[in-house]
Amino acid sequence: MSRFIRSAAIITLSASAIASLPAMAADALNYNQISLRAEVSQEVARDKMIVTLYTESQNADPAKLAAEITTTMNTALGQAREVKGVTLRQGSRNSYPIYDNKNQKITGWRERAELRLESADFPALSKLTGELLNTLKMENMDFAIADATRKASEDALLKDAVTAFKARAQLATDALGGKGYKIVNLNFNTNGYPMPYARGGMMMKAAMADSAPTPDVEAGTSQVSMSADGVIEVLQ
């Protein structure tokens, strides 16, 4: 009976040792692994100009009001279509009632419609905007990074991020006295592209309305960054 108990104890101990092997293997695999992060950035030109114009009016007759707004917008669209390199996008169009303060009855209607213009040709869009301000009002003027420029920037930053990560990996390896390293995993993240840089409509309208020459437009740049986060294993 005692021999059976001893055998059972040995079997139990052996089973426990076998069960712990995966955990021991995992610890061994994670040994000498280091998490690293490298970040690179560059200044990217805002090469897309975005202008938002609008028309707004009110009338007691909603049908006449709608017709007036439509006529104004169609005229502006026709004028804008004649300029090459300008992309047209119709924005929101809203109509809402006007109430009498005393009786809260509808006394009229107000309607507003927007027109969005985009172009990489700043002088052409600036000139067109100045002409359209004869019939429309300016909401704002924005500057953003064009899609093609963004892709080229991402490709360049990706290469730079890899180079920076490898430099940090080698630095960590040398500090630990390792013979080399291997990359276990590596992830890339862009910090996003900044919101378009906006300039107030009233300021830009004043710059354009009273002067025949097209005003110089300075869009500036935005800093775009990419990070490389990963894990390396230092080889001894």
Q: Where are the domains of the chain?
A: 31-47+146-194+223-236, 48-144
- Report whether pLDDT(16) > 80: no
Question: Over the range 107-127, which residues count as b (16 or more CB within 10 Å of their CB) and which as e?
Answer: eebebbbbbbbbbeebebbbb
With CA atoms as reference, report the closest residue to 230 among 38, 91, 5. Answer: 38
Task: Supply the pLDDT for residue 108.
Answer: 94
3-state secondary structure of 71: helix
- Report whether pLDDT(14) > 90: no
Task: Supply the pLDDT for residue 199.
Answer: 55
Task: Supply the pLDDT for residue 8.
Answer: 41
Task: Supply the pLDDT for residue 15.
Answer: 45
Residue 189 pLDDT grade (very low, low, confident, very high; cuts 50, 70, 90):
very high
> Based on the number of CB atoms within 10 Å of its own CB, is 73 exposed (0-12), middle (13-18) or buried (19 or more)?
buried
Range with the lowest mean pLDDT among 44-48, 213-217, 221-225?
213-217
pLDDT in tens, 191-205: 755 545 555 544 455
CA angle 70, 74, 76 (to 5 degrees): 120
- Report whether pLDDT(68) > 90: yes
Predicted TM-score (pTM) of the model is 0.68
- Report whether pLDDT(133) > 50: yes
Distance between the two ends of the chain, CA-based, in angstroms? Answer: 51
- Report whether pLDDT(210) > 50: no
- Across residues 206-217, what is the average pLDDT? 52
Residue 88 pLDDT grade (very low, low, confident, very high; cuts 50, 70, 90):
very high
Contact 62, 95 (CB under 8 A): yes
More confident residue, 215 or 119: 119
- Tell me what the pLDDT averaged over the chain comes to: 83
Residue 234 pLDDT grade (very low, low, confident, very high; cuts 50, 70, 90):
very high
3-state secondary structure of 136: coil
Contact 124, 63 (CB under 8 A): no
**Structural tokens at position 210:** 């009273």
Please give the biggest Cα pair distance in the chain. Answer: 111
Residue 102 pLDDT grade (very low, low, confident, very high; cuts 50, 70, 90):
confident
Cα distance between residue 218 and residue 207, in whole Å: 13
Contact 188, 127 (CB under 8 A): no
Task: Supply the pLDDT for residue 18.
Answer: 46
Which CATH number is correct for 48-144, 1.10.3720.10, 1.10.10.1100, 3.30.70.360, 3.40.50.1820? 3.30.70.360
- Report whether pLDDT(13) > 90: no
